[in-house]
Amino acid sequence: MTIAQGQTLPATHFVTMTDQGPAPLDHDAFFKGRRVALFSVPGAFTPTCSAKHLPGFIDKAAELKAKGVDEIACTAVNDPFVMGAWGKAAGADGKVTMLADGNGDFAKAVDLVMDGTKFGMGLRGQRFAMVVNDGVVEKLFVEGPGEFKVSSAEHMLSEI
């Protein structure tokens, strides 16, 4: 069953890229006591994700933080090397934390999986965004297939 507003995020494994290489992220430390704007994209370096989704959150980072967001994070079913390279290429450093969900554990746990096999992409995370407050989903915005509206930084800003 798809995660819903008011539910606690399941503890899953994310990996981030550091100067020393891939590092596991402590789920509890990342979400506990913080308000996180988390968004998911089907894949790093893909057209909509690279042209609109990630850049929107980078551009609106200060506005989101002014509305009480402590951290902005992007997740995708990609490995940490790809997520790290995409974040650097997009200028996300210091604005958006890139969280690799390499095996799709998070996407599966929140039941927001997209089947991209007809595009050679396998199972991926759907395009969505959420505000997570102390580990609990405060707001959830899930896109319809092929859409990019409600998971944008602009839409999130209008809803928080």
Residue 36 lies in a domain: yes
Residue 82 lies in a domain: yes
Mean pLDDT along residues 1-25:
95
pLDDT at 48 over 90: no
Domains identified in the chain, total number: 1
How do residues 90-124 score in pLDDT, each as one tens digit? 999 999 999 999 999 999 999 999 988 888 887 88
Structure tokens at 107: 């996407």
Mean pLDDT along residues 58-69:
98
Catalytic residue (choose from 3, 38, 41, 49): 49
Range of the domain at 104: 14-159
Residue 65 lies in a domain: yes
Please state, in angstroms and rounded to a whole number, the distance separating the CA atoms of residues 138 and 37.
10
Among the listed residues 129, 116, 105, 130, the one whose alpha carbon sits nearest the alpha carbon of residue 41 = 129
Residue 114 lies in a domain: yes
Residue 55 lies in a domain: yes
Q: Judge whether 76 and 100 are in contact, CB under 8 Å.
A: yes
Say if pTM beats, i.e. exceeds, 0.85. yes
Here the CATH number for the domain that contains residue 64 is 3.40.30.10
> Has 74 been annotated as catalytic?
no
Residue 2 lies in a domain: no
Residue 4 lies in a domain: no
Residue 7 lies in a domain: no
